[in-house]
């Protein structure tokens, strides 16, 4: 069973990551559109979320998409996990 951890909002690293993601959402999605109702916001954020997590290259992943990075590094993860008794 996967362990669920509580988000520690007092942790400076978590605060930095949250602020960075919020800024990216605002810059790449919310500031570029006018919304007339909450359904429009939810639909566009859903589309943006999919693009961000599957199609958009990330500098922290050597400008690969998350899906590509995961596919290329999946065997490495399993090797590390197995080495740690996982």
Instruction: Supply the DSSP string of the chain, one letter for each residue.
Output: -PPP----TT-HHHHHHHHHHHHHHHHHTGGG---SSHHHHHHHHHHHHHIIIIIS-BGGGTTB-HHHHHHHHHHHHHHHHHHTT-
pLDDT at 80: 55
Task: Report yes or no on 26 lying in a domain.
Answer: no
Tens-place pLDDT, residues 33-80: 999 999 999 999 999 999 998 899 999 889 999 888 988 888 766 655
28 in any annotated domain: no
**Which structural domain, as residue segments, surrounds residue 80?**
36-86
In this prediction, residue 46 carries a pLDDT of: 95
Among residues 65, 30, 22, 23, the alpha carbon closest in space to that of 47 is found at 30
Domain count, the chain: 1
Does residue 63 sit within a domain?
Answer: yes
The answer to whether residue 10 is domain-embedded is no
> Would 46 be classed as within a structural domain?
yes
Residue 58 belongs to some domain of the structure:
yes
pLDDT at residue 26 above 80? yes
Angle, vertex CA 16, rays to CA 8 and CA 66, nearest 5: 95
Q: What is the predicted pLDDT for the residue at 86?
A: 54
Q: Is residue 66 part of a domain?
A: yes
Q: Is 90 exceeded by the pLDDT of residue 18?
A: no
């Amino acid at each position: 069973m996967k362990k669920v951890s509580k988000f520690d909002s007092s942790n400076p690293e978590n605060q930095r990551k949250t602020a960075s993601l919020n800024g990216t959402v605002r810059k790449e999605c919310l500031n570029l559109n006018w919304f007339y109702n909450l359904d429009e916001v939810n639909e566009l954020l859903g589309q943006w979320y999919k693009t961000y997590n599957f199609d958009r290259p990330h500098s922290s992943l050597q400008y690969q998409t998350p899906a590509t990075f995961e596919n290329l590094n999946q065997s490495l993860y399993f090797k590390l996990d197995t080495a740690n008794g996982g």
